[in-house]
Amino acid sequence: MTATQGERRLLDPGTALARVLVDELVRGGMTEAVVAPGSRSAALAIALDRHPGIRVHVRIDERSAGFLALGLAKVSGAPVAVVCTSGTAVANLHPAVLEAGYAGVPLVVLSADRPPELRGTGVNQTVDQARLFGEAVGFCAELAVPEMRIGMVAYWRSVVSRALGVADRGQPVHLNVPFRVPVAVEQDDDWIEPLDGRPGGEPWTVVDRAPVVGVRVPELEDPPERGLLVVGDGAGDVAAAVAFAEAAGWPVVSEPTGNARHSPNAVTTYAHLLAVRDVAADLEPELIVTVGKAGLVRHLLALYPKVPNLVVSGAVRWSDPTRTALRVVPCLPPPPSPGRTSGWLKNWLAAESVARRALDLAIDGNELTELRLARDLVTLAGADSVLFTGTSLPIRHLDAAAGPGPRIIGNRGVSGIDGCVSTALGMALAHQASGGGQGFALLGDLTLIHDQNGMILGPDEARPDLTVVVVNNRGGGIFSTMSYARVPGADRLFGAVHTVDFAHVAAAAGWHYQRVSRTDELPGALHGRSTRLIEVATDRAATAAHLNSVRAAVAAAFSR
């Protein structure tokens, strides 16, 4: 009997698997996915594209795809999938997976694969992908090759539930999905058992997280007056931590990506204050409480071995770079009541006032230095915006000069320069999908060059309102601040001097381009629609000298 005479036509197992995986991911809260094109992953790509609950982004380069997904997940807090074909395609996701693993981001890797019996045979595009990401992922599962038999639907949905249960705790996960053949021609929806999940759109397995209550922290039952709250990258519940510090009468020290500089207790010039020996001695705390990952300023880290310090983190990988943490707690207790009026806090804020006046005076003027750019960009962006920062000098300049402003995002898990353009695009897309304002990025030239592919967007791809400001000092500016900058040949070895024309880079990718050289040109250049590249040319040696002079000016303000 032929199919036209009534023969039952079933889905091929690979298509059934892909549809079930995608449906269960959506039930678990996923709304965004990034696809890097490939043949072996075709069933996954088609299933994602056809599900009404998923917005799909397509990128040519797997590394860019991974970092785009990372940026989407960083801002939304929800799991985001990245799909690729087999072979080196999977390896190109490794940098983004490492960043997600050490920054606590729920990235979900769906790597298509050949069946396992083909490994080690020389079959094209076949490697052992199952444990490729090692300890960077919190969960890894290699699915069985899909078969046409009863029980597969429960198996597939159960594995997705386990993966999302780990991702919801802020860890990347990896599902390696073998297909015996690429997707077959579209068939009917019939299968040997129902493909449906739980009624009402519920996940197959609901993983409940019990709320943390009744946390007892002996050191905070009667908080000392001379306490200090440090807020770093990836901090959870910043508002609760800041509320505790404000009630205790503690100063708040926040790195740019800690996003706590809006507090009235915030000390934005802490990097300069702690570099002045006499001032730092007067401001030495009795206790430090840290939320998130801190580590930008060595003078701040130097305080940790001197006094007891507590880490607030519910993550598997908590941050303790000096290995001196006395206690790790999942959350802070309720703020002390009533709030305390603290002479200790007044001393910090008085020092902040002196340092801020000296700092602003030292960087004001019509010359658009890198410090001036960082400070003014934060001010001009506005609170409704979101700003991505590069990991070398840009974040350090923001730390040294910026006050309160937009939410700031950075790849501080492992602090690589790879994938930053793509992460910034993902950040802006997620921010604007939730009703937020314009996106900005502050990147060094080598960082942008490293991810030029991230600027390539197809005509049908979502294009956010994102302005990327690239500081072009013709190489690696951070190395000009190092002691080995004076070694013969250092400029070539570390500066990686280049002659890239960023106007051509922008034109090739279809981005609007503008070069800015004066401070009065910056406000008009920043705000616009779609994707924009603003170039600011500086000199590496002059930037290093200017930073030193600014630090000296702040120090001099305390010797008068």
**What is the rounded average pLDDT of the residues 189-210?**
86
pLDDT digits (tens, 9 = 90+) for 5-53: 445 577 888 999 999 999 999 999 999 999 999 999 999 999 999 999 9
Contact status, residue 195 vs residue 153, Cβ threshold 8 Å = yes
pLDDT digits (tens, 9 = 90+) for 307-317: 999 999 888 78
pLDDT at 487 over 80: no
**What is the rounded average pLDDT of the residues 347-376?**
93
**What is the rounded average pLDDT of the residues 112-134?**
81
Angle value at C-alpha 57, between 259 and 440, nearest 5 degrees? 30
Residue (of 463, 413, 403, 471) closest to 439 by Cα position:
463
Burial of 147 (0-12, 13-18, 19+ CB in 10 A): exposed
Helix (H), strand (E), coil (C) string for 509-539: HCCEEEEECEHHHHHHHHCCCCEEEEEEECC
Kindly indicate the confidence band of residue 483, based on its pLDDT and cuts at 50, 70 and 90. Answer: low
**What is the rounded average pLDDT of the residues 252-273?**
96
**Calpha distance 233→333 (Å, rounded):** 21
Residue 496: the pLDDT is 74
Q: pLDDT over 70 for what percent of the chain?
A: 93
Residue 124: the pLDDT is 72
Mean pLDDT for all residues in the chain: 90
User: In terms of DSSP H, where are the helices of 291-342?
Assistant: 298-301
Between 194 and 110, where is the model more confident?
A: 110
**Calpha distance 177→160 (Å, rounded):** 12
Q: CB count, 10 Å around CB of 183?
A: 19
C-alpha distances in Å from residue 558, one per residue of 273, 298, 549, 553:
9, 21, 15, 9
Kindly indicate the confidence band of residue 280, based on its pLDDT and cuts at 50, 70 and 90. Answer: very high
Between 469 and 338, where is the model more confident?
A: 469
**What is the rounded average pLDDT of the residues 323-333?**
91
pLDDT at 185 over 70: no
Residue 349 tokens, joined: 């804020």
Kindly indicate the confidence band of residue 452, based on its pLDDT and cuts at 50, 70 and 90. Answer: very high
Residue 3: the pLDDT is 44
pLDDT at 67 over 90: yes
Q: Are strands 173-178 and 227-231 parallel, antiparallel or unpaired?
A: unpaired
Residue 5: the pLDDT is 43
pLDDT digits (tens, 9 = 90+) for 41-58: 999 999 999 999 999 999
* pTM for the predicted model, two decimal places: 0.92
**What is the rounded average pLDDT of the residues 362-372?**
89
Residue 440 tokens, joined: 């900005």
Residue 176 tokens, joined: 């390696």
Kindly indicate the confidence band of residue 188, based on its pLDDT and cuts at 50, 70 and 90. Answer: low
Burial of 486 (0-12, 13-18, 19+ CB in 10 A): exposed
Residue 264 tokens, joined: 């009235």
**What is the rounded average pLDDT of the residues 171-187?**
83
Residue 4: the pLDDT is 44
Residue 560: the pLDDT is 66
Residue 2: the pLDDT is 40
Between 398 and 366, where is the model more confident?
A: 398
pLDDT at 239 over 60: yes
pLDDT at 261 over 90: yes
Collapsing DSSP states into helix, strand and coil, what is residue 271? helix
Helix (H), strand (E), coil (C) string for 451-492: CHHHHCCCCCCCCCCEEEEEEECCCCHHHHHCHHHHCCCHHH
